[in-house]
Amino acid sequence: MARSSAARASPPRTGLPLSAATRQGRVPFVTASCERVEFKKPAHVGEILSFVATPMWAGRRSLTVEVEMLAEAISTGERHLCTRGVFHMVASLDPSLRETWSLPPLATTHDVHSPGDVHMADVIFTDQANSSGAMFGGDAIAFMTKPALVAASRLCRRRAVLASSERLDSHHPIRVGSIVEAVARVVPAGRTSMTVEVELWAEALLSSERCQTAKGLFVMVAVDENQKPVPVIPGEFGTGAS
């Protein structure tokens, strides 16, 4: 199951069903059709959007992926289904594999993330890359900031804003066609601020090889409707930096 979470983000491109299909078969896939898109409820500005892609059926060379978009209210944590779509993906095989290759059976279990962790994944396309075919550094930082914002907002159940980026270490480039995944978790929390550690991972679509490409610390501040800092936990005062 591929999962992506983002705050105040626009809907992902076909990267989500593509990454789900490729992780299932580890061969290139193309989108054959979108069977239906159901619109249930609107998502509103300021809500956290979660996108979940789940393989539902596997044939010999084709795969059906269901994608759901859910909205989460920051203040209450209440979630509702906004949109659901079904995508039919087809393996784009080398001629030498067409007679012998087939998709493996669908998994019966899925990875369970640690409570409090936020995972956000997408596929890198050419418009996000420099002349060397690697993801722009600015895009990588922006990608890491979104799950940091979600992790902080879920902890304080208030709007959170970025105060600073304390440290960002880059280790490897992220190539076009790779799956990029950011994992965010809150580490120390002060009275009004939260430090969020974000790891950025790159995964080769066909080989499944993963490597950590960057790691950073982002300081987020809880604010009220007037953009004034407020306690992370109302009525409580942390012992860390404010």
pLDDT band at residue 211 using 50, 70 and 90 as cut-offs: very high
Q: Which of 42-46, 107-111, 119-123, 133-137 has the lowest mean pLDDT?
A: 107-111
Residue whose structure tokens are 């019966």: 108
61-95: per-residue pLDDT in tens? 999 999 999 999 999 999 999 999 999 999 999 89
User: Is 1-111 CATH 3.10.129.10?
Assistant: yes
* H-helix or E-strand spanning residue 173: none
Q: For residue 189, name the pLDDT band (cuts at 50, 70, 90).
A: confident
- CA 213 to chain centroid, in Å, comes to 16
The tally of CA atoms less than 13 A away on the side-chain side of residue 231 is 7
What CATH class is the domain 113-242? alpha beta
**Percentage, residues of the chain above pLDDT 70:** 90
Q: What is the residue-averaged pLDDT of the chain? A: 87
Segments making up each domain of the chain, as ranges: 1-111, 113-242
3-state secondary structure of 180: strand
Residue-wise over 51-66: b if at least 16 C-beta within 10 A, else e? bbbbbeebeebbbbbb
CA distance 4 to 70: 11
Residues 11-69: pLDDT tens digits?
345 578 988 999 999 999 999 999 889 999 999 998 999 999 999 999 999 999 999 99
Cα separation, 49 vs 191, in Å, equals 27
Give the pLDDT confidence score for residue 188 in this predicted structure: 83
Q: Which amino acid is at 167?
A: R
**Topology match between the domains 1-111 and 113-242:** yes
d(C-alpha 103, C-alpha 22), whole Å: 10
pLDDT tens digits for range 161-184: 999 998 788 889 999 999 999 999
* Residue 160: closest CA among 128, 136, 184: 184
